Amino acid sequence: MAEITAAPGRRARLRARTLDDLGLATRHLLVEEGVHAVTISAVAATVGMSAPALYRYVDNRDGLLKLASAAVARDLAATLLDARRRVPDDPLVQTLTLCRTFRSWALDHRREFGLLFADASVPSELRAGGQGEPAAEALAWAFEEIVLRLWAASRFRVPADEDLATPLRESLEPYRERLTASARAARLDLGEIPLGATYTLLHYWTRVYGLISMEISGHLDHALADAGPLFEALLTELEVQVTGP
């Protein structure tokens, strides 16, 4: 039920509008009052329908969250793309911009951030991208893509293969393949990506993402009033890694 593929037409457009409205209303409730306030009846009331009517559009309550989630993911993607477009076509600048933009977005959209990345309530079911790609993966790829570009452009220093412990090398191998595939799909020609580069990528991604998510979830509150400077220190480290000491 729900999700009927309709031929394009006036009716289909109306349906799409309603779906948008539902996503919007859901998101509004989510932002203003939290996930617990996202209830079928509340959303229905917001868009001016009766509760059961929503079932023409979504399968259940989680469907609403999925809807909002997709909208939020689009919003985040647009924000990141936009920030990147406003900035010189330099991979380093773009990398730093991406990180900073992601952090500000997260700080300005804490509950949406929770919905997309954190919430354990509906785990791994909420998909954002078209092909069923979780938002977190799409975001990771945005980071990976620009850092790979950065690496391709500057060939910054990365650990040599033999400096990586054997189990680490083995666990990175599939990751390198996935990166190579993604890069090819994005028409990025990088030749052979060294394992050290994938390690460095993961290193910074885990730190960037980890720091932001800790900040959002309040796990840094006991130490810092503002995690901004710590985040900037991280970016500086990244910059030094790329431009050399």
Partner DNA sequence: CTAACACTGCTTACGGCGTTCACGAACTGT
Partner DNA sequence: ACAGTTCGTGAACGCCGTAAGCAGTGTTAG
Q: Tell me which residues in 56-115 interact with DNA (CB under 7 A).
A: 56-57, 60-61
DSSP tag of 217: T
Which of 102, 108, 128 minimizes the C-alpha distance to 209? Answer: 102
Binding-site size, a second copy (CB under 8 A):
49
Min separation Cβ 44 and DNA, Å: 7
Judged by CB, which is closer to DNA: 53, or 81? 53
171 binds, options a second copy, DNA, none, Cβ within 5 to 8 A by partner type: a second copy
> Which region, judged by CB under 8 A, interacts with a second copy, from 38-46, 76-84, 93-101, 120-128?
120-128
Phi first, then psi: what are they for 121, rounded to 5°? -65, -45
Q: Are 148 and 167 in contact (CB under 8 A)?
A: no
Q: Tell me which residues in 123-182 interact with a second copy (CB under 8 A).
A: 123-124, 134, 136-137, 140, 164-165, 167-168, 170-172, 174-175, 178
Q: Tell me which residues in 213-242 interact with a second copy (CB under 8 A).
A: 213-214, 217-220, 222-230, 232-233, 236
Question: What would the DSSP string read from start to end of 113-131?
Answer: HIIIII-SSSTTT---STT
Alpha helices, H only, the chain: 10-33, 40-47, 61-85, 91-108, 110-113, 135-154, 166-185, 195-216, 228-243
Question: In which residue are the tokens 């729900």 written?
Answer: 2
As given in the structure block, the two tokens for residue 32 are: 């203003």
Which of 244, 150, 141 minimizes the C-alpha distance to 193? Answer: 150
Residue ranges that bind DNA, judged by CB under 7 A? 4, 6-7, 9-11, 14-15, 18, 39-42, 44, 48-53, 55-57, 60-61
Residue ranges that bind a second copy, judged by CB under 8 A? 35-36, 114, 117-121, 123-124, 134, 136-137, 140, 164-165, 167-168, 170-172, 174-175, 178, 199, 202, 206-207, 209-211, 213-214, 217-220, 222-230, 232-233, 236
